[in-house]
Amino acid sequence: MSTAALSIDNRIVTDQGILGGQPHIAQRRIRVKDIVQWYDLLKMDADEIAAAYDLELADIFAALAYYYHYRVALQEVWEKEELLVEELRKDMPSKIKRVVDGAN
C-alpha cells in the first residue's frame, strides 16, 4: 500500500519510494526541481515545458506554485544535495576525466 502524500490538486505528489521522496508530477518522474530549473534557469516558458515533456499546463503551474509555497524548505534540501555531490566528487574522482587526461 502506498503512503503517498498528495498536494496541489493531486498533481504534485511525494512518496518516499519514488525519487527519494522528492515532490514530482503525479504518475511521472519529473520533479518539481526539474520544472523550476527549466523555468528559472533555462528560461523556458510553461508552454515549452509542457510540449517538450508531454505535460499539461496545469502540471507546470502546480509545480511552480508548490515551489513558491515551499521555496525555503526546498532550497535547503537542494543545497544539501549539492554539498553532498561536491563531497562525493572529491572522494570519487571521475574515471572519464582520468581517461581523457591520459592516466590509467
Q: Please report, for residues 29, 41, 58, 100, 104, the alpha-carbon distance to residue 64 in angstroms, rounded to integers and kept in the order given.
A: 16, 13, 10, 40, 45
**For position 19, which CATH number holds?**
1.10.10.10
Asked whether the beta carbons of 4 and 24 are under 8 A apart, the reply is no
pLDDT of 103 over the 80 cut? no
Q: Supply the range of the domain harboring residue 29.
A: 5-100
Q: What is the CA radius of gyration of the chain?
A: 17
Which residue, chain included where needed, has cell 519514488?
18
35-51 tens-digit pLDDT: 999 999 999 999 999 99
Q: How many domains does the chain have?
A: 1
C-alpha–C-alpha distance, residues 78 and 75, integer Å: 5
What pLDDT does residue 1 have? 42
17 DSSP 8-state letter: T
